Chains A and B, each alone.
Chain A
Amino acid sequence: MKLRFGEKLKNFVLVLLIILSLIQVGILWNYYNHGFPINFIYAILPFGDDEEEDRLDSQYAELLKPYNIIISSGFDEGKYIINRSADEENLWNGLWSDAKSYMLSAIESNPETYDKSKWLEVLNKAGFIFEYKTSVDSEIFNKWVLKNKSGYASTYKSVYKIALIPNDGVDEITDNMVLYVYDGNDNDAKIYRYSLKVNKSHIDYIKSRDEYKTDIIDKYTSDTSQNYRFAYELFKDVAYIRQDMLIKTNDQSTEIKTVDSYLPNGLVIQDSDNADIQSRVSNIILGSDKTKGYETGVSIDGAITVFNINNVYTIYKNGLVDYIYKSATQESNRGKIADAFEKAVSFINSINKNELLTGVKLYISNIEQNDDSYTFSFDYRINANGLPIAVDENGIKNAIVIKANGSRVLSCQWLFRVFTASEEENSYKIAKFDVLLDAIIKNNPAIEEAIDNPDSEFVINDISPGYILKNTNSYYTDNIKPEWIVNAASADDKHKMVHLKMEEGIQE
């Protein structure tokens, strides 16, 4: 049967439209996706990439570990900070696993509720204190730390500090463990007390509740030269000292490694206009299999830009990578914080970290809620000794700052540096608190004015050894020595970054 001319024309137009639509889909494919269009199947079918899931789980677990675990033997007795070094890793992980299993039990229990002033009473008890640098929202904590699938919602709205108390007065009669959750750092913060059935410990030599005291607390706090106190035990109601910060009560010397810091090789930009260098940098940041559809260019300040229609990465010569999501529409819904956190962690994972993140671990240092998004800050800690790295670069105060909502990452600033700890260790003086504070103030006289002026609302939250990362314009900074890092807050935010070189030499 012969087709009429009209039919032929229709068929031709139809084929042309199909070809054009395929071309259009192809163009969009390049911008948005780089795999087969079957990803949705993984979302609806009960199978997935177990290895990838495990990798992500361990990534969340690492980022959401507490900053410190403190062993306390009670009021006016010794306190000990567990090292993150290899020799105390088992104890650290065991206690953290124990705390997590009690937290999981707590979700289904009814707590007694107190206001935040109760916390100092809690610290009077012998036990274990788990501290974060920031309040971690319960949605994030319960989903990623506890992997809670019970369907129960926790009473606490966030987790800032946890205390696990093996012998808490009346609960000795019931043979229960007691867990306290301090749920935030604001004025409305609450303390929740849970009395819980004793779980099997993750530490193999702990067989009963009493053995926490005899085998851990007494053992680690008996060496008085290593001891700390909480500030309120000696400086009760001194307004400019955070009452639950740890302070050293005697001089001591300790061995600390120096570290070298350098720009990752893949991010060294000798010539921004060089196409090979642009290609190498974009491969490093995006991964070589994901650069398709991206173009490269050079900004007026000599940084390399890697971009497509929605995503712009700017890679500066000092290792700072600035990412911005450009959207045609303004999104005002920040979504759920757990979803936003998931997007932030996925973004961190999308970067080729093997080459860029060596010698350090990341920890969560701040979470803020904005009108249309959440801001998550992460910082580096040296693998070898767990000491933090404070960033003191113009306008940059954290290693990573990610702004995200429930749908996507909106922006990210990431200062990439590789760190290596030296083999040699130097001896440094860990001065007792009042002597150290006098030295810090002599070096920063403005602090004395802030202390004397109640309107300044100056408060020292913490003083601890760490490394300062500054002058990142040089490719290589060697022999970075530890310094005292003062974490302080004030009404004018003037004293946020104060540090003092640690004094070398053995002190007896």
Chain B
Amino acid sequence: MKKSIAFMLLVIFCFCSLTTVVNATGEQDLPVPSILYDKSLSSTSQFLVKILRPEGNETVIKKTYITSGIALQKDLIVQILRKNNEGNYEKIYTREGRSNWEIGPSGLFMKEIQLNTGPNRLRIAVYKKGEDPVPGTNCQISDFTVTLLSEKIINDIFNINI
């Protein structure tokens, strides 16, 4: 009896250990190449993906934001990061619970993220699948700032308009 219980617990332990981040659709987030966190990197040209939203730095009034783009090449992985209060990039998750994804055959992507109030320093990094990312070579870095206005400012704006 004790052996059976021990065996079951072992199975549960192994199962839990092997389970990494799994999103709502059952697909796993990929490990993030460490270079993408590098704060010293600056934006490259958009040679792998044309980012359609954001169109440069934007100021918005809604908490949810949809970022979108169209691939210029095949077999690409997109990673989305945001600078935290300490100035370090960290993963942020889309509505589907992913921080990265492979662009499908349509070449299009659109992902909804939650914004923090104030400036959101976003990094949309794109790299060739199965390759070690080298920015400017097989990796595109696109940094944007999307600023979410606080409710107070929004109310002030609308009150002024009225």
A: which residues have CB within 8 A of B? 76, 224, 229, 234-236, 238, 241, 249-251, 432-435, 437-438, 441-442, 445, 448, 451, 508
Q: Is there contact, CB below 8 Å, between A249 and B112?
A: yes
Q: List 15 A-B contacts (CB under 8 A).
A: A76-B62, A234-B52, A234-B53, A236-B52, A238-B70, A238-B108, A249-B110, A433-B108, A434-B104, A434-B108, A438-B104, A438-B105, A438-B106, A445-B105, A448-B105
Take A234-B52, A234-B53, A235-B52 as given contacts and tell me if A441 and B24 are in contact as well, using a CB distance cutoff of 8 Å: no
Return the contact of B68 from the options A234, A250, A251 (Cβ within 8 A): A234
What's the least CB distance linking B144 to chain A, in Å?
15
Q: Is there contact, CB below 8 Å, between A441 and B66?
A: no
Write out the residue numbers on chain A whose beta carbons fall within 8 Å of the beta carbon of B62.
76
Return the contact of B70 from the options A235, A249, A250 (Cβ within 8 A): A235
For chain B, what secondary structure do more than half of its interface residues adopt (helix, strand, loop), or is it mixed? strand
- B109, CB-defined interface residue at 8 Å: yes
Q: In the complex, which residues 21-43 of chain B have their Cβ closer than 8 Å to any Cβ of chain A? A: 24
A241 to B106, CA, bound (A): 11
Summed over the interface, the residue pairs from A and B with CB atoms below 8 Å come to a total of 50
How many B residues, CB 8 Å from partner? 19
Give A440's nearest chain B residue, CB to CB. Answer: B106
Q: In the complex, which residues 53-104 of chain B have their Cβ closer than 8 Å to any Cβ of chain A? A: 53, 60, 62, 64, 66, 68, 70, 95-96, 104
Take A235-B52, A235-B68, A442-B105 as given contacts and tell me if A434 and B24 are in contact as well, using a CB distance cutoff of 8 Å: no
A81 to B68, CA, bound (A): 23
Write out the residue numbers on chain A whose beta carbons fall within 8 Å of the beta carbon of B66.
229, 234, 249
B: which residues have CB within 8 A of A? 24, 52-53, 60, 62, 64, 66, 68, 70, 95-96, 104-110, 112
Q: Is there contact, CB below 8 Å, between A508 and B112?
A: no
What's the least CB distance linking B126 to chain A, in Å?
15
Q: Is there contact, CB below 8 Å, between B112 and A250?
A: yes
Take A234-B66, A234-B68, A250-B95 as given contacts and tell me if A451 and B112 are in contact as well, using a CB distance cutoff of 8 Å: no
Take A235-B52, A238-B70 as given contacts and tell me if A437 and B108 are in contact as well, using a CB distance cutoff of 8 Å: yes
A234 to B110, CA, bound (A): 8
Extra inter-chain contacts (9) besides given A76-B62, A434-B109, A434-B110, CB under 8 Å: A224-B64, A236-B52, A238-B70, A249-B66, A249-B110, A434-B108, A437-B104, A442-B104, A451-B107
Take A234-B53, A236-B52 as given contacts and tell me if A434 and B112 are in contact as well, using a CB distance cutoff of 8 Å: no
Q: Is there contact, CB below 8 Å, between A441 and B53?
A: no
Write out the residue numbers on chain A whose beta carbons fall within 8 Å of the beta carbon of B24.
508
A238 to B95, CA, bound (A): 24
Which of A238, A441, A445, A448 has its CB near the most chain B CB atoms (within 10 A)?
Answer: A238
A229 to B64, CA, bound (A): 14
Give B65's nearest chain A residue, CB to CB. Answer: A76
What's the least CB distance linking B97 to chain A, in Å?
11
Write out the residue numbers on chain B whose beta carbons fall within 8 Å of the beta carbon of A236.
52
A438 to B104, CA, bound (A): 6
Write out the residue numbers on chain B whose beta carbons fall within 8 Å of the beta carbon of A451.
106-107
A236 to B70, CA, bound (A): 10
Write out the residue numbers on chain A whose beta carbons fall within 8 Å of the beta carbon of B60.
76
Q: Is there contact, CB below 8 Å, between A441 and B52?
A: no
A209 to B79, CA, bound (A): 46
A110 to B112, CA, bound (A): 43
A241 to B52, CA, bound (A): 14
Give A445's nearest chain B residue, CB to CB. Answer: B105
What's the least CB distance linking A467 to chain B, in Å?
24
